Structure 1
Amino acid sequence: MIRFIDLFAGTGGIRLGFEQALDELNIKSECVLSAEIDKEACKTYEENFGENPYCDITQLYNVKEFDVLLAGFPCQAFSSAGKRLGFEDTRGTLFFDVARLIESNQPALCILENVRGLVNHNKGQTFTTIKNVLNDLGYQLEYRLLNSSNYNVAQNRVRIYIVAVKNPTLKVTLPNDVGAVDSHAFKENLMNNDLFDEKQSALVKDILESNPSAHYDCSEDFTAQLKKVLKGDLDKLHGIRLIDSRGGNSIHSWDLGLRGECTKHEIEFMDLLIANRRKNIFGTHQDGKALSKAQIATFYPYDDIDLVIKSLLQKRYIKEKDGLYNLVAGNMSFEVFKFLDPDSISITLTASDSNRLGVYHNGRVRRLTPRECARLQGFPDSYVLHPKDNFAYKQLGNAVSVPVVKAIAKDVLINNPNLFK
């Protein structure tokens, strides 16, 4: 019997993957404590595991004995990171409470999950401190950067998984693999058959519901605008992004006429401004430099530049300051900001915008459903979602890809058979 605790539990993705691994290895388990402070996440957790994990980890003391600590802890900078001050480095952060529970209970195994950026967070000092603290507590650790898309999950999601044990001969055989850089590269690699070899590769089309509620359909006006821009060929929506600050495979607010219909010359002006404002000859500003009319005239080929600028200023597609012109920044309230390609993988789900991922499927222009987002995280269809969509989308954006946790847990348990002896 393996006893474990589930910290920063969210809606239970790490627990679910860990339990699946134990089930496949015929190992019995018991969760002796789960802790989560988000009350809505606690409701979903309770629906699926029969217990409400509501708990403030900073108040957790005298925890029942456990063998494994699971934690998807938040990434926070440490004020004295890297100075080898042990707990003093981490005071005031939630990792301090994780370390405190490790010190007091000495579990045989810790599996921690975090965002990819933890490795370089605070110029690498944060991760250095985490390693130092675990080492000071007598733990050896290995970490892996793993992409969910390599574990039969149709999502480009890279996360760091840290394994810490008391045994100095810790063995982890899963290789670091951050996968394809984006969904376009993934599709190219898949077509060239040189990325996966014998690995399974789930695609967006594998997670789509055949006939979800009309509630998820995009509005008639938005759909009509898309049809107009794409000249009726909605298949071109596959993989397209709706964004004003980038070019490439994108649709912009001026293409759709969201702030007023634009003439061909106005659209061309905006497209040229997007394409040229990042050029080094105009400066090295990461998000593009505001340009003067004289600079714009070097790439805008028509003699109606004054009329076009005046019109675009009135419609608020561009703004002017000190004689320099740039895009009006900010989200233009697109109903969908990215249409997924059914023959590739999804971009990374996030808590803030999973509700605005879209797909063109079975003749419908619509948003992804919460169930589809759950499938993109590897949750089984038996998993109960929050009844309110806004909470479900947020929780799934914050979730951990279940099959990845399962894979790393199995790898550790199989390759370290004496871990719990």
Structure 2
Amino acid sequence: MAYKSLELFAGAGGLALGLEQAGFEHIGLIEFDKYAAETLRYNRPTWNVLCEDVEVVANRDLEKEFDVKKGELDLLSGGAPCQSFSYAGKRLGLEDIRGTMFYHYATFLMKLQPKMFLFENVKGLLTHDGGKTYETILNIFEDEGYKTVYKVLNAWDYGVAQKRERLITVGIRNDLSNKISYSFPQKHKYKPVLRDVLQDVPNSECAKYSKSKEAIFALVPPSGYWKHIDPVIAKEYMKKCWDMGGGRTGILRRLSYDEPSLTVLTTPQMKQTERCHPEENRPFSIRENARIQSFPDEWEFKGNISAKYKQIGNAVPCNLAKEIGISIISKLKEVEENMYDLDFISQENFEKHVANTIKEYKDVLKSIDITKFNRNIIDPIKLLFDKNVFRTSFEEIIDIELHRQRDKSNNNSIGYFHQNIFKYINNCTVPKQGWDVIVKIPNEPIIYVEMKNKHNTMNSSSAQKTYLQMQNQILHSPNDICYLVEVISKCSRNISWGCSVNHNHLEDERIRKVSIDKFYEIVTGDKDAFCKLCMQLPKTIEKLISNSNDLSVQQDTVVDGLKNINPDMLKALYLLAFNTYEGFNSLG
């Protein structure tokens, strides 16, 4: 199953690609920068990329724009640029931050109410404006109905050859937060270094240093910086920075193949944050930076060289995004699994009842021999037509007939399931004889139930008999109600049941025809109770059957028995069905 996501401030696609690799399907990506949007469209022509101002998009009907209903989107992702807010000594709400980039992110959250959101940003957001900015952001997430967790993650811990820290905030909608709790992905034991990712890198554009800077970098060893060269040369290069104090380890910094990269930046030639190639006297190339950011080689970046460096430097590393995406999907799966928890019957009783129903199948699984096969006398002429019309063999037609006979017997087992489950539901009893179910809800009329698997299983005589039984019940107990509950009904309904008895049409509001979903709603108070049961049922059946060793269909002997009658299968069928008819004895 693909989980639906929508991304704001998508950039060149690092976060989006990682989430796609984790299993998300993007229904939309919004990116204002034309080169970044072109990159997205080129690499994923099927993605719905909007190269627009996020504020403009936020003001539209988002459900219509992205063809998703409020509450159904699985994930909203992205990271708004950091901006200060005007406080005036109060806790701010959404309207107080109108006009900021985060306001637009929060607007999407408010309008679409996704199940979860992923908000990524720089580590510095934690301390921005004395921590007030992030505090306001968390408060607004809470106001919009989300429980949040946050953590600073280092990409190096998640398969990225780069020390790059990002503040990751994950939110779970309040109605789901009591079902799941989010945990950030576990750190990888193995941490890659540049040597691991810079093998056989494709040729690409690369920024250059001036000749004088190249000459100075030639003096710097791997893992070294300005302190590792002649102080006179370093002082001349650093100029005013020499007297500023501090480590300033970013100046004249050459990386080593045996260490991870420092944070990949948007411009490769800034003096304060230089990252020189481990062996050559140059910055990293476009494709080298992309490798360090864990982009695949086939992911192409559009625009001029400056635009490409900027796109790569702004991106969330794909491998980090993938790990976060996998952890989020695991929680969305838990939401699905817990969505259909049954609160009207204990898990123990539900499993017990399903197990008892499975036991009802055991007789059906027994081997069928030729005597049992012909108990109701099969029709060989029908089987002959079936064989030829469906262009198959007698063996296959007989196998279908065996399945039909078993299926007919199964109806009793399914009737057992639908009726006897009410033994375990509050206010319900299942008498040994008489009514199928009796419901006694405090301060409510008693309900007497006759249950049918299908709406068309009652002939006229049976319907009259059942109706008269119900009529007799309400005549003796005027406050009671009688239900004919249909498991397979024409539609969901709770209507008065009119019936023709001795050519007279009888109808009483206290005698009703009720579909099984409506009956469950009446009994449990939950309109989705029957749906939840149906969604929980396959998992429970699978669990019980996988733990059982005696639920296999035994080998049938019908075909062998027919061959013993006559090697010609058609003659054998004729002799089985028509052995007392005139003329058929000669076939033997």
Shorter-chain TM-score above 0.5: yes
CA shift, 1:349, in A, is 1.5
CA shift, 1:108, in A, is 0.7
Matched, 1:3 2:4: yes
Give the 5 Å matches for 1:165-314: 165-166=172-173, 167-169=176-178, 170-174=180-184, 199-210=189-200, 212=203, 221-227=212-218, 230=219, 236-242=220-226, 248-249=227-228, 254-255=233-234, 274=243, 278=245
The one-letter amino acid paired with 2:195 is K
CA shift, 1:20, in A, is 0.7
In structure 1, the partner of 2:411 is none
Cα distance, 1:81–1:207 mapped onto 2, change above 3 Å: farther
Q: 55, 58, 74: which one pairs with 1:58?
A: 55
Deviation track 1:381-420 (CA, whole Å, cap 9, x = no partner) reads 1211236322111111111111111111211221452435
Give the 5 Å matches for 1:97-108: 97-108=104-115
Moved more, 149-158 or 200-209: 200-209
In structure 1, the partner of 2:329 is 413
User: Which runs of 5 or more residues in structure 1 are unaligned?
Assistant: 23-28, 177-195, 231-235, 243-247, 261-269, 279-286, 289-329
CA shift, 1:142, in A, is 0.9
Matched, 1:92 2:99: yes
TM-score (norm 1): 0.67
Cα distance, 1:213–1:378 mapped onto 2, change above 3 Å: closer
- Distance in 1, matches of 2:184 and 2:312, equals 25
The one-letter amino acid paired with 1:59 is V
Matched, 1:388 2:378: no
SS in 2 for 1:33: strand
Q: CA RMSD in A?
A: 3.3
CA shift, 1:8, in A, is 0.3
CA shift, 1:367, in A, is 2.0
User: Which runs of 5 or more residues in structure 2 are unaligned?
Assistant: 340-588
CA shift, 1:149, in A, is 0.7
In structure 2, the partner of 1:346 is 261
- Distance in 2, matches of 1:58 and 1:42, equals 16
Which protein shows a greater Rg?
Answer: 2
Contact 2:43–2:300 (Cα < 8 Å) also in 1: yes
- Distance in 2, matches of 1:403 and 1:99, equals 26
Matched, 1:72 2:54: no
Contact 1:226–1:256 (Cα < 8 Å) also in 2: no
In structure 2, the partner of 1:122 is 129
- Distance in 2, matches of 1:54 and 1:165, equals 28
Cα distance, 1:365–1:136 mapped onto 2, change above 3 Å: same
CA shift, 1:202, in A, is 0.9
Write 1 or 2 for the structure with the bigger share of helix: 2
Contact 2:206–2:286 (Cα < 8 Å) also in 1: no
CA shift, 1:346, in A, is 1.1
- Distance in 2, matches of 1:214 and 1:105, equals 41
Matched, 1:45 2:40: yes
- Distance in 1, matches of 2:287 and 2:28, equals 27
CA shift, 1:40, in A, is 1.4
- Distance in 1, matches of 2:92 and 2:25, equals 35
Matched, 1:360 2:278: yes
In structure 2, the partner of 1:370 is 286
CA shift, 1:251, in A, is 6.7
Cα distance, 1:15–1:374 mapped onto 2, change above 3 Å: same
In structure 1, the partner of 2:360 is none
- Distance in 2, matches of 1:148 and 1:155, equals 6
CA shift, 1:58, in A, is 0.5
Deviation track 1:237-276 (CA, whole Å, cap 9, x = no partner) reads 212235xxxxx4467683486699xxxxxxxxx99x75xx
SS in 2 for 1:358: coil
Q: How many pairs were matched up?
A: 316
SS in 2 for 1:237: coil
